[in-house]
Amino acid sequence: MIAGAAAAIILSLLAVIHIYWAAGGTIGKAAAIPSRDSKPLFAPTPFTTILVAFGLLAMAALIAIKIGWIPAPGISTFAHVGLLLMAALFLLRAIGDFRYVGFFKRHRDSRFAKLDTVVYSPLCLLIACLITVSANS
């Protein structure tokens, strides 16, 4: 239950950050987008940023169902499979694309790349581990 609670809280906090960015907030936004030669590789719109926020909240809700914070009888198998897929997603994010994102990226000179190495990828690995533990408890 502790692993699931930690994962749900982390995912909820990440969702709040994305909502802040979608609403026009700028603190930390530039450091959260991969770049090359000081140019962002993509420009997320407020809509796509909100979609990410809702996805994170949906993941947090599924964990909350699994650990019993939200009663939802009869979806135990769905929750288990969903959590394992979520854990795989975060593990893949931590591993990365072998270019700009993840532990095995080649481009390591941008602000994002440095933060990705010490914060973002380890956080994704932690979330994957927490979700795996909560899925199997």
Arithmetic mean of pLDDT, 106-132: 96
Please give the model's pTM, rounded to 2 decimal places: 0.92
Q: How far is CA 125 from CA 48, 63, 70, 97, in A?
A: 23, 16, 25, 15
Q: Please tell me the predicted confidence (pLDDT) of residue 78.
A: 84
Arithmetic mean of pLDDT, 31-39: 91
Q: What is the pLDDT of residues 104-115, one digit of tens each?
A: 999 999 999 999
Q: Are 109 and 30 in contact (CB under 8 A)?
A: no
Q: Please tell me the predicted confidence (pLDDT) of residue 137.
A: 81
Q: Please tell me the predicted confidence (pLDDT) of residue 84.
A: 96
pLDDT at 31 over 90: yes
Rg (CA), the chain: 16
Instruction: Categorize the per-residue pLDDT at 75 as very low, low, confident or very high, splitting at 50, 70 and 90.
Output: confident
Phi, psi (rounded to 5 degrees) for 39: -115, 130
Alpha helices in 23-98 (DSSP H): 46-66, 76-95
Place of tokens 């979330």: 127
Mean pLDDT of the chain: 94
Arithmetic mean of pLDDT, 33-46: 92
Q: Which two tokens stand for residue 129?
A: 């581990």
Domain ranges in the chain are 2-135
pLDDT at 76 over 80: no
Instruction: Categorize the per-residue pLDDT at 74 as very low, low, confident or very high, splitting at 50, 70 and 90.
Output: confident
The H or E element that residue 110 is part of is none
Q: Please tell me the predicted confidence (pLDDT) of residue 124.
A: 98
Question: Which residues, in sequence order, are bridge partners of residue 40?
Answer: 35
